Structure 1
Amino acid sequence: MKLILKQIWFVCALLCTTVLLAQENSKSLNSQPRFTVRGSVVESDTKNPIPNVNIEVNGGSYTTTDDIGNFRIEARKGDELTIKHKDFETVYYTIESNERIKVEVQPSAAEVQYSKKKYSRINPELFKSLIDSAETHLKKDAKKSIQFIEKALGASNSSKENGEAFEVLGDIYLHWKQFDLAVSNYRISLQNRSTNTVKLKLASAYKLNKNYQESLQIYNGINKSELSNWQLVELYEGLGDVHLLTKSYQAAINAYNEGLKVAKKHLISPKVTDLNSKIAQVYNAKGETQKAEGFFNESLKLANSQNKKRAVEEKIKVADFQNETNNYSSEIQLRKEALKQIKDIQKDSVFNNESALTPQKQNYKIGNAYASQRDYVNAIPYLKKSIEEADTKEDLIVQKDATRKLSEVYRDAGEFDKALVAYQSYVDLVDKLYSKKEQEISQAARFSKDIVAKQNRILSLESDRALSESKYQLNVEQAKRQKIIIYSLIGGVVLLLVAGFLMFKYIKQQRLANNLLALKSLRSQMNPHFIFNALNSVNSFIASNDERTANKYLTDFSLLMRAVLENSEEDFIPLEKEIALLELYTKLEHFRFQDKFDYKITIDENIHINDFVIPPMLLQPYIENAVWHGLRYKKVKGKLDIAITQSNPDEIKITITDDGIGRQKSKALKTEHQKKQNSKGMGNIKKRVAILNEMYKDKVDVFIDDFQDEEDTGTKVVVTLKKD
């Protein structure tokens, strides 16, 4: 018992030390000296300076280039500099010292220009129907919504309809946070039909894409006298948002106040509330907390007279402000009131985990506020409640944060055993969250790739339609001039030759892509095969009530699984990794069939295994066949040998031999289903080797023969591996 207590005290001390070190590291990072970085942005070909380029330090200063392309900005060593402008791709640069920076950029390809065309009359109701369908699916299914836009463009009869279609397409990308694509489509919409509504949307999209100067340029270029009262308030609000983001606080306050005047004059009550809240946020950012509190109180009073959702949103904003000013009692009171209102709102609507209006987030923040007051008795129940609700709603982020805070509260309250248990739960949640984030990143990448492909298709279809119209007009003129027709034929031949060359190049690239896809497919078919056999082993141990053996086997199996999954996406891995995997797999098989065979792995001492690579999971199926179809049926105890030798400096041989019953006897013992499965497994290996040899010029060779001439002929597999 004393030993356990000592271990707990040790772990708690380690936790405290970790927290202190993290705080020291944070202080050390914040204490890095700031210095002024000077630089310029010019075009790479003409060396002309580029004015009004957005220059931003991550989480810090913001500035723009002047008329001669120069800039100055405060930064620390290690900060990342983001250089962004509408006419070139964003540049990222890591600052190492206060050296002068010269950024040379290439202008991006010009936006697709849409000339006014002759439109054949199509059913006018079809276009409107397709646009309505796109707007219906806008927030539910981006891909389906984009497909309707594609069809709508095909049914478009005018530039006006074209502009409307691209406006809705911009709305789709804006909702799904693809801000750069939203900007492109709003610009195309304006080329077809210039409206103040689209201009306001474009300015907002520029702001969200961090093109602040471009956003200000659009906002300031709109004729205010043409706007409705609501649009005018939106314009001033948007200007204020950009100024706030660029830390131009007084300009932000001025813009918000202008919008507030219009909203009050025309009784636009929702905007009155929003603008009071935003003015409060600016004063808070400036450090003028008293003024901020006054505006927050006003926005809170106004919000309470509106719908319940808006009222609780404002309460949470004010509670966050009270937290920043260390007024924890007021924060706790506001959040408790918000919790009651959230329960009422949830009866009619559902909030996702990203929303601030979730009980788990508010319970966590209440517990955090109590902890800041050192009121651990009240903090613990709220943190536990937050963890329970977060677990129910699968909100891993809040569950992780609340669990860590609970561990810290237990530690500060002197309950070290509970602190340790909570901290262990926190570590498990971090691993779980990491795995989930990896999946989300992969899904987001696929989503972005799909919608970019659809966007390119839409632009391609519109370009083709414009090209077809131009060709039609050109053919009419060419009919009058025979000479031009001849030139056109010659041009057509050249285009065909170019197309043939491009097609040949495309087929070559497609063949490589197909090979890579085939390899991935074959690997994905092999992994479940041996996993299934291993799980059968665990099942047999459990069935025989050998729980300890099953646990030990499962532990080794998990190590093997981790190694296999780490290598599953690679065509080749270092030979050292494959040997380690084979040792672990053979150990597991011997663990189950130790009365059937002994094994030995021999590696020539002169081999530099780091010089060779091998396809992952290439050797494992041969070892599996040797054990399951050869040694397992042997009447006496057999032997499995794995030897790695080097025949010449650029080639090694891996020999797998067993004195089992041999291939012929094994085949006679199999059922029809087993024959089919084994044939499929060996066929997959042959296909992998064939594809790899095609891609990498005969890198791998496999030879299979009988091992000996005795009753149990056994099997001998020789894998020859060549160096790169």
Structure 2
Amino acid sequence: MKNHHNQTMIIKQKKATLFVVFFLFLCFLGFSQQSKLDSIISKLRVYEERDSVRARLLVNAAWNSIYENEQDAFVYVNEAVDIAKEIQWDWGLVVSLRQKGVNYYVQRDYLSAVDTWQEALKIAENKNVKDKLLIASIYNNLGNVHADFKQYAKALENYKQCLHISEQVGNKENNINALSNIGYVYVDLNKIEKGIVYFNKALLLAKDESNKRLIASIIKNLGDAYKLKEDYNKALSFYEESAKIAEDIKDKYVASSALNSISELHIKLGKYDEAQVYSEKALQLAKEINTVEWQADSWKLLSDVFEKKGKTKDALKAYKNYIQLKDSIQSEDKKVALTRKEMAFKLERQEAKAKAELEKEKLYANLILTAAIFVVLGSIIAYVLYKRKRDAIEYRKIAEFKTKVAETELKALRSQMNPHFIFNAMSSIGDYMIKNDLETANEYLIKFSKLIRSILENSEKKWISLEEDLELTKLYIEIESLRLKDKIFYTFLIDKSIDVENTMVPPLILQPFIENSIWHGIAKKEGKGTIKICAKKNEKHVVFSVDDDGVGRKKGLKQLPNHTAMGVNITKNRLAIINNQDGFNNSVKMIDKVQGVRIEVKIPLELRF
């Protein structure tokens, strides 16, 4: 049968990420990507034989339903995997697993996608699957994930493997994609000249194939490279050529991105009227194809143009549109950042496990050799093995504890970046803007930006100064106070014997309890409420208290929302980890009062000097 290799640029476009890290290849035998889903489903209803024909239909159905119904897509592909295993169809199993990896990728479950594609490669290698382009497509997919997460060494390794296989079989279109992907990785690594070399190689092949879509994309990449070199005139000529080709072939994705880039260079060159024309045209195309990131870029450029022209009202309106779109993009960026940490953690764990297995194999080989030659040393060897086993148990306990620390730190970052808090804060800012209360909106936005930036800056720190933490806590309360129309009074009472600059505490350790006091105590109370935050110290501990006069736990905290309960549990876990590391008896006490609740948190006294 004939192979049909479809480059699924749609995946990148629907995610609205960098279109220049080109394609996930999908290779299907004996069917067309353009088949309608309802037609495929009809065939599946008629054809119930569990053989290769049904498996092909199921994989095709999974691909065609991947954006419309993700749950159905997994049902189809899982059945395809089961059938391929039942009939021992190795090629079909690899194809099915590759599609399953694509399903995970579209769902942004990148770790599962990588695991599934690696499993497909392992089966292809062990079962000697001879479809080299199928294997090349999987290497390309893995390269895309690693490039997305800036793991450039692994991305280059996979892209070059894809290029090597494509050159072996003489598939020029795959060569073009692999060369372009390698070029963009080098540009990201700031090896711009090397990236340009690969782009030019890809461009020559694309022109030889007369593939205008690829030509437009590669020329756009060359423009990006020369822009980084600050050769704006040459970059502008590439962008204009890319935009013209894209418009001729009606490729709105490339055209919109190129037009935004042209506008950006015109602003740098002081040509504001031309910049406005290109930004507005790019915005219209971005709206037609529903790419949020490029719409945001167009609004940001228009805001800059209007500001340069002195049109402050238009600039503010454009900037407001930019902020609204950018919020959803930044939310996705945070998910990617968290996934990147999880992915790096998993890779390190896999490498450590592989190293441990290698050491174990070496140990067994040495033991066999030693036993054959030196039987009389058996008792000594037994003692050494016993000691090593005991050490291995200790190392495993340490590793498990470090894993718990890493997982808790990731959860702590998630809890501080509470999506409900972010959404409500941005909604309040938007409300002030709609009411034309720009002064309050600006004050709210400044405080909110400062808090988010500080949280991200401190996300990798285990300890910060008490002075910094009190400032963050104060900023958080002020933001929540703005939302509650100044319903909250708060005071900080810090023992004079505490050196706030020198005393170190875990970041935002009190925030979940303050959140409880505000939203499950004071917010449900008639009239205004007060929160009193105190800090005292003894010889070895700092004791914090959060005291409110809200409605109390029976009324306010009877059923905590999931994210609030999670924040409290994560804080307790953080304290348990500190207790394990430092040998202190940390505690959290909740004391019900006649009116309100008092929380006491005890942590070890940690000094900077």
Q: How far 1:680 sits from its partner (Å)? A: 8.3
Residues in 1 aligned to 2:464 and 2:550: alpha-carbon distance in whole angstroms: 30
Deviations 1:168-193 (A, max 9, x none): 9866656666775588799999xxxx
CA distance in 1, matches of 2:484, 2:95: 66
The 8 Å contact of residues 146 and 454 in structure 1, kept in 2 or not, is answered as: no
> Which residue, out of 671, 693, 700, partners 2:579?
693
Structure 1 residues 509 and 316, CA gap change in structure 2 (3 angstroms): closer
Taking the aligned partners of 1:403 and 1:511, their CA distance within structure 2 comes to: 47
| Conserved 8 A contact 2:428-2:483 | no
| Aligned AA (2:121) | I
Does the C-alpha gap of structure 1 residues 388 and 690 become closer, same or farther in structure 2, counting only changes over 3 Å?
same
**Aligned-partner SS, 1:644:** strand
* Structure 1 position 359, deviation (Å): 1.5
> Partners in 2 of 1:611 and 1:419 — Cα distance?
48
Amino acid at match of 2:504: V
Task: Give the AA of the match of 2:204.
Answer: D
User: 2:392 — aligned with what?
Assistant: 502
Seen in structure 2, the aligned counterparts of structure 1 residues 464 and 195 have a Cα distance that, compared at 3 Å, is farther
Alignment of 1:637-652 (within 5 A): 641-647=532-538, 651-652=541-542
CA distance in 2, matches of 1:486, 1:509: 35
Q: Give secondary structure in 2 for the equivalent of 1:607.
A: coil
Correspondence list, 1:158-173, <5 A: none
Matched, 1:338 2:210: no
Aligned to 1:389: 285
* Deviation at residue 577 of structure 1 after TM alignment: 3.1
Partner Cα distance (2:166, 2:483) in 1:
75
Report the counterpart of residue 27 of structure 2 in structure 1.
Answer: none
Structure 2 unpaired stretches of 5+: 1-85, 106-112
Aligned mates of 1:635, 1:195 — CA distance in 2? 71
Q: What is the root-mean-square deviation of aligned Cα atoms in Å?
A: 7.0
Greater Rg over alpha carbons, structure: 1
| C-alpha spacing 1:137/1:632, structure 2 compared with 1 (3 Å) | closer
The superposition leaves residues 508-558 of structure 1 with CA deviations (integer Å, 9 ceiling, x where unpaired) of: 2212322442465477568759949988x979x99xx9x999979976984
Deviations 1:690-710 (A, max 9, x none): 343223322744556577xxx
Change (3 A) 1:335 1:525: closer
Offset from partner CA, 1:356-390 (integer Å, 9 cap, x none): xx111343466679889998766643331113323
Of 597, 613, 616, 2:504 maps to 613
Contact 2:521 2:596 in 1 (8 A): yes
Structure 1 counterpart of 2:398, one-letter code = K
CA separation of 1:431 and 1:314: change in aligned 2, threshold 3 A: closer
Q: Residues 574, 388 of structure 1: CA spacing in aligned structure 2 closer, same or farther, 3 A cutoff?
A: farther
Letter in 2 for 1:359: A
Give SS of 2:498's match.
Answer: coil
What is the distance in 2 between the residues matched to 1:440 and 1:617? 23
Distance 2:544 2:517 in 1: 15
Match of 1:723 in 2: 605
Residue type of the alignment partner of 1:144:
T
Aligned sequence identity (%): 17
d(CA) in 1 for partners of 2:278, 2:541: 65
Q: 1:567-626, CA deviations, whole angstroms, 9 ceiling, x for partnerless residues?
A: 566544322233234445556777799999965433344431112223344434555666
Partner of 2:204: 274
Deviation at 1:682, TM superposition (A): 6.5
Contiguous gaps of at least 5 residues in structure 1: 1-122, 213-241, 257-270, 278-298
Name the CA distance, whole Å, in 2 between partners of 1:683 and 1:330. 57
Specify the alignment match of 2:3 in structure 1: none
The 1:513–1:534 alpha-carbon spacing in structure 2 relative to 1, beyond 3 Å, is same
1:573 aligns to what? Answer: 464
Partner amino acid for 1:274?
Answer: L
What pairs up with 1:118-157 in 2 under 5 angstroms? 142-155=114-127
Partner-residue secondary structure (3-state), 1:610: coil
Q: 1: CA distance between counterparts of 2:271 and 2:481?
A: 58
- Equivalence for 1:514: 404
Q: Is the 8 A contact 2:338 2:410 kept in 1?
A: no
In the TM superposition, what is the alpha-carbon distance from 1:453 to its structure 2 partner?
Answer: 6.8
Q: Within 5 Å, which residues of 2 pair with 1:303-702?
A: 306-309=210-213, 337-343=244-250, 346=251, 358-364=254-260, 380-390=276-286, 393=289, 416-417=311-312, 420-421=315-316, 424=319, 428=323, 440=336, 443=339, 446=342, 486=375, 493=382, 494-495=384-385, 497-518=387-408, 520-521=410-411, 524=414, 531=421, 558=448, 562=452, 565-566=455-456, 570-584=461-475, 600-620=491-511, 622=513, 641-647=532-538, 651-657=541-547, 667=554, 673=559, 686-698=572-584, 700-702=586-588
Compared with structure 1, are the counterparts of its residues 581 and 274 closer, same or farther at alpha carbon in structure 2 (3 Å cutoff)?
A: closer
Change (3 A) 1:131 1:484: farther
The Cα offsets for residues 401-451 of structure 1, whole Å up to 9 and x where unpaired, read as 656665676678x66558845884798599767776665555456556667
Give the Cα–Cα distance (whole angstroms) in 1 for the partners of residues 99 and 522 of structure 2: 64
415-424 or 571-580, which moves further after superposition? 415-424
C-alpha contact 2:247 2:255 (8 A) present in aligned 1: no
**Amino acid aligned to 2:282:** S
2: CA distance between counterparts of 1:509 and 1:635? 51
CA contact (8 A) 1:149 1:165 kept: no
Q: TM-score, normalised by structure 2?
A: 0.52
Q: Is the 1:170–1:181 Cα contact (8 Å) retained in structure 2?
A: no
Deviation at 1:124, TM superposition (A): 13
In structure 2, do the counterparts of structure 1 residues 334 and 393 end up closer, same or farther at CA, with 3 Å as the change threshold?
same
Change over 3 Å in CA distance of 1:391–1:574 after alignment to 2: farther
